[in-house]
Amino acid sequence: MSETTQLREAIQGAIAGNPVILFMKGTPEAPACGFSARTVAALQSLDAPFAAVDVLGDPRIRQELSGLSGWPTIPQLFIEGELVGGCDIVMEMYETGELQEALGVEAAQEEEALLGVPAADHAPLSIENRL
């Protein structure tokens, strides 16, 4: 099996294995571009748990990811294995409430209000670049 095939399978596995995963430049704690920072901020403001992969560690990740998704830019957000899009789409969805719906956070917030129990504290999960 070639390195490219292994990398592609690792990316596919990461997407399939995480309900919400963000391929970004940098990490959630230290985004390396404004677009990644805005996308992380939107997810964090919703207390949405998500995995993150820093594409800067290996340029092949970005190339293979774009080949898989058909999306040329970074960041790329996937929810339940489906590409949502990049920063502009995520921000538009955030503003209209579609992102909250896609992440299922509205129900959690309503449940919290009804039960008076705070939602679980969600920190982003960083995936070590082993792709």
Domains in the chain (CATH in brackets) are 3-126 (3.40.30.10)
Whether the CB-CB separation of 59 and 3 falls below 8 Å is answered with no
CA distance 4 to 113: 48
Q: What is the pLDDT of residues 13-43, one digit of tens each?
A: 999 999 999 999 999 999 999 999 999 999 9
pLDDT tens for residues 85-112? 999 999 999 999 999 999 998 644 444 4
**Cα distances (angstroms) measured from residue 101 to each of 6, 11, 108:** 34, 25, 10
- Within 10 angstroms of residue 54's Cβ, the number of other Cβ atoms is 23
57-90 pLDDT tens trace: 888 999 999 999 999 999 999 999 999 999 999 9
Let me know: does 96 contact 90? Beta carbons within 8 Å: no
Task: Give dist(CA 96, CA 11) in Å, integer.
Answer: 30
User: Sign of dihedral through CA atoms 34, 36, 76, 47?
Assistant: negative
Distant-in-sequence, close-in-space partners of 3: CB < 8 Å, separation ≥ 6: 60
